[in-house]
Amino acid sequence: LLEVAFRSNAPLHSAMPSTLASRSCWWRTAAKIACRVIRTAQRLGIETVSVYSDADRNALHVRLASEAFRIGPAPASQSYLRADRLIDVAKRSGAQAIHPGYGFLSENTEFAELCASSGVTFIGPPANAIATWALRTPPRRSWSGPACRSSPVTMATTRSRSFCWNRPRKIGFPVMIKAIRGGGGKGMRIARSEAEFRTQLDSARREALKSFGNDDVLLEQCIEQPRHVEVQVFGDQYGNYLYFFERDCSVQRRHQKVIEEAPAPGISPETRVQLGEAACRAAAAVGYVGAGTVEFIMDAKEKFFFMEMNTRLQVEHPVSEMVTGVDLVELQIRVAEGQPLPMRQDQVRLSGHAFEARIYAEDTPAGFLPTAGRVSHLCAPAAEAGAVRVDSGVRSGDDIGVFYDPMIAKLIVWGPDRPAALQRLCAALRDYQICGRPHQPGLPAGPGRPPEFAAGRVHTGFIEQHRDRLLASPPPGPRELALAALGLFLLRRQAARQATVGLADFRLNHAHREAVHFRLGDGPGSKDAHLVVEASPDGLLTVHGGGEAEALRVRARSYRRTSGAGAGLSSKGGQRRRTAGAAFPLRLVPGGGRLGAEPLLRRPAAPAA
C-alpha cells in the first residue's frame, strides 16, 4: 500500500503535516492530469515517477516528477498502452502505487489486475468494479429508483456482429454507438438511419481500438438535445459513499466537452439530492472504491436517465473541487492508502459556482479539427487562490503532436454565484495569450456568446445550434488597429536596422513618421484603414488615426523578436485581444492605457492585394 502516515484528525483540504515520511509513488497518465496529480503528491511529501514516450520527452510532467523513464515510441499502442512496460518501470523505480489519471489504461480491468498481482497499488476502483461498469450495462433495478430511468442499451462486441446489425431496429434510430472503454468523445458515433449504421459502427470501433486497445461498443437510444449532467461520487473500503454534487457538461462539440460548470444551472434542490443519491446507489451496487463519475442525460423537465459510469477521475473534476473545497486527488490517495472517507454527506458543502473552459489546439471553422505544431508563445491568466486556476501540461515552445489529445489547458474559475463566475471566466479568457497554433478559447464564453448561455439554457446541441454566432469574428476596433500598426512599424524598423546598422529611422531634431495601411476583410464589404506611426528621438512611439479619440503612445523597451507567430493584443483595462504575427515586448507610458507587464504585440496578416 501507499505507506504515508496521514493524520486522521486533519481536515481533508488542509496541508499535510510536514513530518510525513517521503515515499515513492508512480504517476503514469496524460501530461495535463499528470502535472495536476504530481503537484498534489508533492504537497503531501510523496515522491513521483513519470513515464514518457518519445513525443513527450520534453513535456512538463517529465520535468516536474522526481524521476522519469522512457517507455517507448510516440504511438500510444507502443508506449502508454503497454501495461507490461508500465509495471516494469514501477518495479525498477521502487514505486508503491500507480495513479492512472484519465484516458489510456485508466479504465482497463486487465491493467488494474496486473497492478494487484504485481504488488503495486492501483489508485482507482477494484478491477471487478471496473469490469462491471466498463460494460456500462450492469443490473440497475437495485439502485436506479423511480427518479432515474435507463435508455434502451445493448452490447455489440467483436463476436456479435450479426446480432448488432438487428439490434438498432429494436432500439430505434437515432442510435448512439459508444466504446465501452471510451472517454473524451473517442469511439462515439451517432447513426441516424440504418443506411449509415455500419459505417458509423466501424468508425467507432477503429477509433476505440486505437485509443483504448479494445473495440467493443454498446448501442443505446440517442436522445436529441438533452442536458449532460454528471455526479462526482467517492467510495471507501468500508462501504461509505459520498457525492460532491453535480456538474453540467452539456456544451460539447464532436461529443467532447468544451465548457463544464458546477453546480448545474437551474436544477432544483430536490433534483440535486435525487441525482446524488442515485449516483451513490450506483457506486454501492458494485462495491465501488475511489473516485467515479455517474453520468446522466436530463430533459427539460429535470427527468434524468442513467447513461454510464466512468471509473476514474474526470477531466472536469476541478469545478467540483472549486465549489466544495476538496482536493479530489488527495482524497484518492487517502482512500487508496486504506483510510475511510473523512466526512459525512451533510458536511459536504456547496459554495458558489465554478466554470471550466477547455483550451484546445483546433481549427474551429474547419469543423473543430485538431491541429498540430509548436506553441510559440503561451501566457495564461494570473492565478488567484480559490478564484482562477489553470491546469496545463503545455508551455511556450512545446509541440502539440498528432498522437494524443490536442487539449492545451483547462481554465477554471470560481465566483460567489453563476453571473460572477461567468464574468470572471470571460475576463480570464480575454487575458489568455496563445500563439503558434489555431485554438478555440472557450467558445460559448467568448465574444459571440449567445444570451442563452448566460441564462443557463444549455444542451448537448448548443454549439451546433449557435455555430454561426460563436464562430463569427468581430472586426478589429480602433485600439486593435493602433496596436497592429505599431507592431508592423516595429517589424519594418527591425528589418531596416539590420540592413543599415541602426540608422534607418535616424532623424536630427524631429520625429520619424511612417504610414501604415490595412485592408479589413475581403470582398465588397472590405474597408481600408490608414494610420501613422510617429517615432520621436527620445524613443516615444505614437500612433495617430484608426478612429481613436486619443493617440496611442508607448515606449519600446526592446526590439528583440520572439520566435514564431503570436496572439494576445491588449486593450484598455489590461484585457488582451488576439491577432496573428510576430511579438515584441512593449510598455505603455502613463496616459496611454494599460498593457500590463510587458505584454506581446502582434503584426496582423498581410492585407489583401
Residues with a known catalytic role:
312
Grid coordinates of 205? 470501433
Whether the CB-CB separation of 373 and 42 falls below 8 Å is answered with no
* CA-wise closest residue to 21 among 40, 5, 1: 5
CA distance 31 to 394: 8
359 within 8 A of 407, measured Cβ to Cβ: yes
Report angle CA 585, 588, 594 to the nearest 5 degrees: 105
Instruction: List, in order, residues 6 or more apart from 394 with CB less than 8 Å away.
Output: 31, 32, 60, 375, 378, 400, 408, 409
Report which secondary-structure segment, H or E, holds 475: none
Backbone angles phi, psi at 190, to 5 degrees: -115, 125
Closest CA to 328 of 22, 67, 102: 102
Q: Indicate the pairing of strand 121-122 with strand 97-99.
A: parallel
Cβ proximity of 82 and 69 under 8 Å: no
Distances (CA, A) of 220 to 150, 208, 444: 10, 17, 28
Residue identified by cell 487517502 is: 334
Sheet strands (E) in 472-601: 512-520, 527-535, 540-545, 552-556, 569-570, 576-577, 584-588, 600-601
* In 326-460, beta strands by DSSP E: 353-360, 362-363, 369-370, 373-374, 377-379, 388-392, 399-400, 407-415, 433-435, 440-441
Query: Distance between CA 276 and CA 233 in Å, rounded?
Result: 8
**Residue in the structure block whose three cell numbers are 469543423:** 367
Distance (Å, whole) CA 598 – CA 586:
5
Q: What are the φ and ψ backbone dihedral angles of 2, each rounded to 5 degrees?
A: -70, 110
What contacts 24+ positions apart, CB below 8 Å, involve 270-277?
271/147, 271/302, 271/304, 272/245, 272/246, 274/145, 274/147, 274/148, 274/304, 275/229, 275/231, 275/243, 275/246, 275/304, 276/231, 276/233, 276/243, 276/245, 276/246, 276/345, 277/145, 277/243
Helix (H, G, I), strand (E, B) or coil at 494: helix
Dist CA 530 CA 528 (whole Å): 7
Element (H, E) at 307: strand 304-310
Cell of 272: 440535486
